[in-house]
């Protein structure tokens, strides 16, 4: 049986386009605001939603996502809120995944975490700081609950390592397009296209590129060579800078529509 995420990539490949994946931290801009933001993004055309587990020591997150995570943590967001947000996303009919550092999974209980993701309609979990060498317990749990273990690779990852990591990955390979932390960029790194090409020679899994996309033109560019375009900081910045929650939702809706057009123009 395939996950909703796997089905999504079959669908977009048939449509000869990339998938648009939106990232939002659970509990941001508020618990209710997060629910509204998810529904707004889906209504505007995103194909999948990545729910972030706000964490106090985020090694991969740039200042925009850290600021959003801090707002969420101050409001008391916990694991139950992550799964509630995941359910909101999956209930809209799109593929939904969680992105989390390893510590919250371990704290919650490894098998229990995978079970909760599946129970709330989630397709998988992105674990940016979990090395495959320390993954045996996690891989057993995701296999039991039939969800995808999604690993992150970077331009610095060697070809031999790409093959090893992608062999353990399910759903898609997350290609971090630049060395360093997340955040919208004015221009995308040339490393991204090269990294995707290298991943493709190691695996037939879909490849989604994250870290830096914020405009329709960039979405179009990445969609020309990748199977998925992941956008987080650009949406979060609009919500952070909005005068009101309502105006923030209008802003992310407009951007999501723009990006959804972009991923359809890539090929």
User: Average pLDDT in the 198-223 region?
Assistant: 94
Distance of alpha carbon 65 from alpha carbon 211, whole angstroms: 11
The pLDDT tens digits of the residues spanning 38-80 come to: 999 999 999 999 999 998 776 666 788 888 988 898 999 999 9
Distance of alpha carbon 66 from alpha carbon 32, whole angstroms: 20
Q: What are phi and psi of 187, to 5 degrees?
A: -135, 150
At residue 234, does pLDDT exceed 90? yes
Q: How confident is the model at residue 237 (pLDDT cuts 50, 70, 90)?
A: very high
Domain tally, the chain: 1
Which residues on neighbouring strands pair with residue 124, listed in sequence order?
97, 148
**136: CB partners within 8 A, 6+ apart:** none
pLDDT at 62: 74
Q: Which domain, by its residues, includes 86? A: 4-265
What residues are labeled active site? Answer: 50, 61
Cα 41 to chain center, whole Å? 13
**226: CB partners within 8 A, 6+ apart:** 18, 175, 192, 196, 207, 208, 209
Question: What is the CATH classification number for the domain harbouring 181?
Answer: 3.20.20.70
Cα 119 to chain center, whole Å? 19
């Amino acid at each position: 049986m395939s996950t909703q995420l796997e089905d999504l990539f079959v669908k977009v490949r048939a449509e000869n386009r990339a998938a648009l994946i939106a990232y939002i931290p659970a509990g941001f801009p508020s618990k209710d605001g997060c629910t509204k933001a998810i529904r707004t993004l889906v209504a505007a055309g995103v194909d999948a939603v990545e729910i972030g587990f706000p964490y106090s020591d985020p090694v991969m997150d740039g200042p925009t996502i850290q600021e959003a995570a801090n707002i969420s943590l101050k409001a008391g967001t916990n694991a139950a809120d992550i799964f509630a947000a995941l359910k909101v996303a999956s209930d809209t009919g799109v593929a939904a995944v969680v992105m989390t550092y390893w510590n919250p999974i371990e704290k919650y209980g490894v098998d229990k975490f995978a079970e909760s993701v599946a129970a709330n309609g989630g397709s998988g979990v992105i674990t940016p700081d979990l090395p495959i060498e320390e993954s045996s317990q996690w891989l057993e749990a995701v296999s039991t609950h039939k969800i995808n273990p999604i690993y992150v690779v970077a331009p610095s990852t060697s070809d031999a390592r790409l093959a090893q990591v992608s062999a353990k990955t399910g759903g898609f390979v997350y290609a971090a397009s630049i060395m360093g932390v997340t955040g919208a960029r004015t221009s995308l790194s040339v490393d991204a296209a090269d990294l995707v090409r290298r991943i493709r020679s190691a695996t037939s899994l879909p490849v989604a590129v994250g870290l830096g996309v914020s405009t329709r033109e960039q979405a179009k560019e990445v969609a020309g060579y990748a199977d998925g375009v992941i956008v987080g900081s650009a949406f979060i910045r609009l919500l952070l800078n909005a005068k009101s929650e309502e105006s923030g939702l209008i802003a992310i809706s407009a951007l999501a529509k723009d990006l959804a057009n972009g991923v359809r123009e890539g090929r």
